[in-house]
Amino acid sequence: MAKKDEKTVGYGAEDIVVLEGLEPVRKRPGMYIGSTGPEGLHHLIWEIFDNSRDEAMGGFADRIEVVLLPGNRVRVVDNGRGIPVDIHSKTKVSALETIMTTLHAGGKFEGESYKVSGGLHGVGASVVNALSVYTEVRVHRDGGIHMQEYERGKRKAAVKKIGTTKFRGTIVTFEPDELIFKEMGWNWNQIVNHLRQQAYLVKGLHIAILDAREYAGKLKLDNVVYFEDLSLEVPSMSFYFDGGLVSLVRFYNQHQKPIHKNICYVDKEVDGVQVEVAIQYIDDISSRELAFANNIYNMEGGTHVTGFRTALTRKINEYGRKNNFIKENEENFTADDVREGLTSAISVKMREIQFEGQTKGKLGSVEARSAVEKVFGEALGMFLEENPEDARAIVNKVIIALRARKAAKAAKDSVMRKGALEGLTLPGKLADCQTSKAEDSEVFIVEGDSAGGSSKQGRDRRTQAILPLKGKILNVERARLDRMLASVEIRSLVVAMGTGIGDIFDISKLRYHKIIIATDADVDGAHIRTLLLTLFYRYFKPVIEGGFIYIAQPPLYKIKKGKEITYVYSEAEKIAYLGKDVSLLEVVEEGEEEEFEGTEEEVAAEAEEKGKKREPKVSLQRYKGLGEMNPEELWETTMDPKRRILKQVRIEDAVDADKAFDVLMGEDVASRKSFIQSNAKMANIDA
């Protein structure tokens, strides 16, 4: 291929764009906060909070307050040392302005100011500043109050002293930029859950959260802290835990049945790495692993988790062989065996830390692995020796897991062999699509033969497959793989997906890139949908994480005005469409229609006016199930990609999602009842 003339290409030094100050952050915000969606928006709070929390981890603060204010503003307060305000020798402006307006500027790179840091090493505050339409920082330090304001990362004026104070600490108030974040609005529960978790991770730290979005007049914003007075008439929460990770494990096991009383716990420093681990086994088949590095939740794990798993497997095998739980000719427990039913929390704190990815989802520091393996291994070995009853319960639990694993593998292999021998690559009830390209294919999971028949006739055969399920599938929350695969409906779904299950799961073999749950709009339909989501979450989580699971939203009503037909998907939409005439309507039975011509006064008035045409008749049909619709209606409302409404299933907080499935689908009836009573007002009642 011939080279192009360099002069015509026009690529020289002058073509290299140099972004100054915080311009790179506004240009590519996703590089710094992960996304500009709800998660990225909340990440702004975490970054400012992390700076205050680092003060507490260094022993300089013990109180942090987060306040939600009107206009999407957030205020974060700590009683730490206060950001320095004197002139920086290199930048020739105050240290406060340097930190707030310069990337990679802060007190966490060198020196002894911070032994442990969880933030972006000075990047956090400046990134939040860059992505906020307004930021204000007030520093209470050395008896004076110093203040500076910013607009989209640029200072409005120099730092100035505005008064005297007897407090010390930093107050940061910011308002995210609507030009960056299209979806504004804070999630109270998400903030509370995140900050509660942080309180567990820093012993002795008081954290308060206030929701003053509708009560701003009741707060005196010139004060530093309000910890002593949470009696204000605003929604608030406060947290303080002395137990560290022991308290965290107890919190996540509060609705479970522990199989041993004592929690194995260690908090020790080795080779400059502070290691804290707590574990407890419960009567369940799922495992819960919470990993943190410098108080940052590592959703994808990392080197500290690898070290933990290695030590756990080795020590339990050593104890099992030493005490004759594992015979000489028997195989060792696997990592999966020893983790079944385990709730564990692993936290490391270290001065120099490396993460894989800007949002710190996975720890990459090599020294963390050896430190955790050494510290936890020694602690677990001692725990098993000193607590023989607990040790016996743990090993017996692992033996049950090993036997179940073997039984499940035999059942799975049997199912796979049987399917291959009979040539049943796909279940007979599946009406597959014509295309073999997974990215163009979608499968509708429907309930019953009636809905299956209508959807098979109304679909686009080229790209849409239909899999009808008979009745409610097995609740897999506490069912092992062998019992699951004995269910015809679950087996059909597994084979149709193509990914396999368990240790042979391979998401690259997924046959459909849209798996659409299409159940009826009644209680039974909601139950079936929940059972399916439990199955996907427990055994096909990568399919949810990949964005392949959807929920169809069929219409609630079909409204006919003369020859005009309109489908509406909610009560609010129905009221908006019908306007004043909605008071005349009643919800009709399945398949029936109600007709009306308006009020008596309106009809009489129309009759008096000669030549005036009467309003067309209006009929309303209430749908309860997909089987009621004919194929044309089903295509128009639920299956046509141009007009349908699909809700994508996402996991916003894996820990909370795991806990919710435990409560709702587990065996603890009292916890489930309490959850339902507490959240009853949030439910959509289908009367």
342-350 and 264-270 as β-strands: parallel, antiparallel, unpaired?
A: unpaired
Q: What pLDDT shows up at residue 422?
A: 43
R_g over Cα of the chain: 30
Q: What pLDDT shows up at residue 278?
A: 97
Lowest mean pLDDT among 105-114, 211-220, 347-356, 635-644: 105-114
Question: 59-65: long-range contacts at Cβ-Cβ below 8 A with a sequence spacing of 24 or more?
Answer: 61/169, 61/205, 62/204, 62/205, 62/206, 63/205, 63/206, 63/207, 63/208, 63/225, 63/227, 64/205, 64/206, 64/207, 64/208, 65/207, 65/208, 65/209, 65/210, 65/225, 65/226, 65/227
Question: Above 70 in pLDDT, residue 661?
Answer: no
Helices H, strands E: what count in the chain? Answer: 22, 25
Question: Above 60 in pLDDT, residue 396?
Answer: yes
Say which DSSP state 15 is in: G
Q: Which residues pair with 174 in a beta bridge?
A: 74, 135
Confidence of residue 519 (pLDDT cuts 50, 70, 90): confident
Cα distance between residue 65 and residue 298, in whole Å = 24
Lowest mean pLDDT among 218-227, 278-287, 458-467: 218-227
Q: What pLDDT shows up at residue 420?
A: 36
Confidence of residue 668 (pLDDT cuts 50, 70, 90): low
Query: By the 8 A CB rule, do 298 and 361 touch?
Result: yes
Query: By the 8 A CB rule, do 147 and 59 touch?
Result: no
% the chain with pLDDT above 70 = 78
Q: What pLDDT shows up at residue 262?
A: 94
Higher pLDDT, 250 or 670: 250
Q: What is the per-residue pLDDT across 360-372, written as a single tens digit (0 to 9) for each?
A: 778 989 999 999 9
Cα distance between residue 16 and residue 334, in whole Å = 54
Higher pLDDT, 356 or 602: 356
H/E segment holding residue 409? helix 388-422
Taking alpha carbons only, the member of 241, 340, 327, 237 closest to residue 287 is 340
> Averaged over 116-123, what is the pLDDT?
46
Is the CATH code 3.20.20.10 the one for domain 23-239? no
11: phi then psi, degrees, rounded to nearest 5: -115, 100
Lowest mean pLDDT among 70-74, 152-156, 614-618, 653-657: 653-657
Question: Above 90 in pLDDT, residue 146?
Answer: yes
Confidence of residue 105 (pLDDT cuts 50, 70, 90): low
Query: By the 8 A CB rule, do 376 and 342 touch?
Result: no
Higher pLDDT, 21 or 516: 516
**What does the mean pLDDT of the chain come to?**
81
Confidence of residue 292 (pLDDT cuts 50, 70, 90): very high
> Averaged over 76-99, what is the pLDDT?
87
Q: Which CATH class is domain 245-405?
A: alpha beta
Confidence of residue 260 (pLDDT cuts 50, 70, 90): very high
Question: Above 50 in pLDDT, residue 5?
Answer: no
The domain spans of the chain are 23-239, 245-405, 424-554, 557-622
Positive or negative torsion for Cα 658, 661, 667, 673: positive
Q: What is the per-residue pLDDT across 479-489, written as a single tens digit (0 to 9) for each?
A: 777 778 778 88
Q: What pLDDT shows up at residue 623?
A: 80
Q: Which amino acid is at 420?
A: A
For the record, the structure tokens of 145 come out as 């109050």
Q: What is the per-residue pLDDT across 158-207, written as a single tens digit (0 to 9) for each?
A: 999 999 988 899 999 999 999 999 889 999 999 999 999 999 999 889 99
Higher pLDDT, 308 or 675: 308
For the record, the structure tokens of 34 come out as 């992960």
Say which DSSP state 427 is in: -
Q: What pLDDT shows up at residue 683?
A: 47
> Averaged over 508-530, what is the pLDDT?
88
63-68 and 160-164 as β-strands: parallel, antiparallel, unpaired?
A: unpaired
Cα distance between residue 316 and residue 341, in whole Å = 14
From residue 243, alpha-carbon distances to 218, 248, 261, 330, 437 in Å are 34, 8, 16, 39, 53
Q: Which residues pair with 170 in a beta bridge?
A: 78, 139
Q: What pLDDT shows up at residue 605?
A: 59
Say which DSSP state 358 is in: T
From residue 644, alpha-carbon distances to 478, 547, 631 in Å are 35, 18, 14
> Averaged over 619-630, what is the pLDDT?
78
The total number of residues shown for the chain amounts to 687
- The winner for highest mean pLDDT among 214-218, 449-453, 587-591 is 449-453
Cα distance between residue 657 and residue 603, in whole Å = 55
Taking alpha carbons only, the member of 480, 517, 484, 538 closest to residue 662 is 538
Cα distance between residue 340 and residue 287, in whole Å = 5
Residues classed as catalytic: 447, 520, 522, 524
Cα distance between residue 44 and residue 80, in whole Å = 20
Examine domains 23-239 and 245-405 and report if their fold is the same: no
Higher pLDDT, 424 or 646: 646
Q: Which amino acid is at 40?
A: G
Q: Helices 303-322 and 388-422 meet at what angle, rounded to 10?
A: 110
Question: Above 80 in pLDDT, residue 567?
Answer: yes
Q: Which CATH class is domain 424-554?
A: alpha beta
Cα distance between residue 196 and residue 209, in whole Å = 10
- Residue that is written with structure tokens 């062989």 in the block: 321
Cα distance between residue 25 and residue 33, in whole Å = 9
Q: What is the per-residue pLDDT across 199-236, written as a single tens digit (0 to 9) for each?
A: 999 988 999 998 888 875 656 554 444 444 445 567 78
296-297 and 514-518 as β-strands: parallel, antiparallel, unpaired?
A: unpaired
Positive or negative torsion for Cα 13, 14, 15, 17: positive
Cα distance between residue 298 and residue 291, in whole Å = 5
Q: What is the per-residue pLDDT across 59-83, written as a single tens digit (0 to 9) for each?
A: 899 999 999 998 899 999 999 999 9
> Averaged over 107-121, what is the pLDDT?
48
